[in-house]
Structure 1
Amino acid sequence: MALRLFVATTNSGKLADFREAAEEYQIDIDPVPGLATIPAPEEDGTTFEENAVTKAIYYSGFAPNQIVLADDSGLEVDALGGAPGVRSARFAADAGLTDSPDANDNTDVWNNIVLLQKLDGIPAAERMARYRCVLAAARDGEILLTSEGTVEGVILEAPHGTGGFGYDPIFYLPNLDQTMADLDISVKFGLSHRGLAFADLLSRLAV
């Protein structure tokens, strides 16, 4: 019987990423039961780890005796001093251009537009960035462990590719000459920040 892990997300892109990787380990990935009706905790941490830990502890209370994973991830752009960072999903909302990310299906598009505007005129050599992900695993309100993954890239001046989500269409991988949005999901997860964090967590998770 396959191990089952619950993930504290309803984001279809994240779920697809996790499920793709989990197949290799014969692990079933499902959202926390009733997640859509559970009020979200306040994510007021200043780091990805703080937010991931907060969410993992909180949501594990809704799945007794089960291992619950929560991630906090985002984009860090060197030219912007590491922004948007923990505010990656709310970058456009913070700029007053959209409602909350949960209520706006076009949030990814607006976030990309805001980022490209802020980088307007900055040359390619200075558009270095990284995706960062921290995963936390909790059971019955206690943290079991955390893991982290990063991937380096460059922010393009215009989107390219039709896959992925978030900032993937403008996150360019020089070694592959592709954006994250160009990659097949199985290839993407093997080298992405979320995939690296997930692999590290599974290698150390005692179940």
Structure 2
Amino acid sequence: MTLYVATSNPGKLRDFSAAAAEVAGTNVRLETLPGLATIPSPPEDEPTFSGNACAKAAYYSLQSPGLIVVADDSGLEVDALDGAPGVRSARYAEDAGFAQDESLPLDERNNRCLLESLKGASEADRRGRYHCVLAAARDGEIIAVADGTVEGTILTAQRGRSGFGYDPLFFLPELGKTMAELEPATKLSFSHRGRALRRLLQTLS
């Protein structure tokens, strides 16, 4: 079975492919959706990860008849911020109007904005989670939905260089490391995307 992933993000594709390879008893291949770069992006204006994932999966599957298309929505939820950045994780600094050097990479701007938002927050309030929802659709119909989460704490300074997004700030107490400090094989066991994909594959099988 081939699943066509509606993302060009190399970090996401890496997580998904590694998770698929780890699931015993499945013969699944993940590929980027053909012609993705030429398909206009749909609006991501749903208030939940599930809503956005389902909307994107249905939309992209209508552009590729007969294919099983997988789309995700994922992000960081922080207790002290009432669940923000949430569905706006990729646009957090932009939404906040955070004054900073626009020449910096987007991930760096978002991380700096998050640190500013959490100034003065107690360690308990800095708890949060990565949350991913995956939806699979064919010909506009949703055929499976699954989610995955991983709990952690937001640090006061970035650590590590291996991840992307908020990984340098997302600390896993049980390992004593941030997501950006983990070896790829270890990160796979804790990845919210990996957990969501494993559950999705179980549903589809």
- TM-score, L = length of structure 2: 0.93
**Quick check: 1:117 aligned with 2:116?**
yes
Aligned to 2:177: 178
How far off is 1:104 after superposition?
7.9
**Quick check: 1:199 aligned with 2:198?**
yes
Structure having greater relative contact order (Cα 8 Å, sep ≥ 6): 2
67 and 163 in structure 1: CA distance in 2 versus 1, 3 angstrom threshold: same
Q: Which runs of 5+ in 2 are unaligned?
A: none
Q: Does the Cα contact within 8 Å between 2:20 and 2:198 map onto a contact in 1?
A: no
Q: Does the Cα contact within 8 Å between 1:52 and 1:134 map onto a contact in 2?
A: yes
**Quick check: 1:44 aligned with 2:65?**
no
Cα distance in structure 2, aligned partners of 1:54 and 1:14: 18
Cα distance in structure 1, aligned partners of 2:157 and 2:55: 35
| 121-130 or 9-18, larger mean C-alpha shift | 121-130
How far off is 1:63 after superposition?
2.1
202 and 112 in structure 1: CA distance in 2 versus 1, 3 angstrom threshold: same
Q: Does the Cα contact within 8 Å between 2:159 and 2:180 map onto a contact in 1?
A: yes
Q: Does the Cα contact within 8 Å between 1:10 and 1:31 map onto a contact in 2?
A: yes
Cα distance in structure 2, aligned partners of 1:76 and 1:69: 22
Cα distance in structure 2, aligned partners of 1:47 and 1:12: 23
Count of residues in correspondence between the two structures: 200
- Structural mapping, 1:83-162, within 5 Å: 83-97=84-98, 106-162=105-161
Q: Does the Cα contact within 8 Å between 2:75 and 2:88 map onto a contact in 1?
A: yes
Q: Does the Cα contact within 8 Å between 1:20 and 1:185 map onto a contact in 2?
A: no
Aligned to 2:2: 4
DSSP-derived class of the 1:10 partner: coil
How far off is 1:114 after superposition?
0.2
Amino acid of the structure 1 residue aligned with 2:61: S
Cα distance in structure 2, aligned partners of 1:86 and 1:18: 20
What is the percentage of aligned positions where both structures have the same residue?
Answer: 56
How far off is 1:188 after superposition?
1.3
Q: Which runs of 5+ in 1 are unaligned?
A: none
How far off is 1:113 after superposition?
0.3
Cα distance in structure 1, aligned partners of 2:36 and 2:54: 17
How far off is 1:97 after superposition?
4.3
Aligned to 2:13: 15
DSSP-derived class of the 1:83 partner: coil
How big is the alpha-carbon RMSD for the aligned residues of Structure 1 and Structure 2?
1.7
Q: Does the Cα contact within 8 Å between 1:33 and 1:62 map onto a contact in 2?
A: no
Task: After the TM superposition, list the runs of 4 or more consecutive aligned residues in structure 1 that deviate by more than 4 angstroms.
Answer: none
DSSP-derived class of the 1:61 partner: helix
Cα distance in structure 2, aligned partners of 1:86 and 1:93: 13
Cα distance in structure 2, aligned partners of 1:184 and 1:104: 29
DSSP-derived class of the 2:137 partner: strand
DSSP-derived class of the 2:63 partner: coil
How far off is 1:186 after superposition?
2.4
Q: Does the Cα contact within 8 Å between 1:32 and 1:62 map onto a contact in 2?
A: no
DSSP-derived class of the 1:56 partner: helix
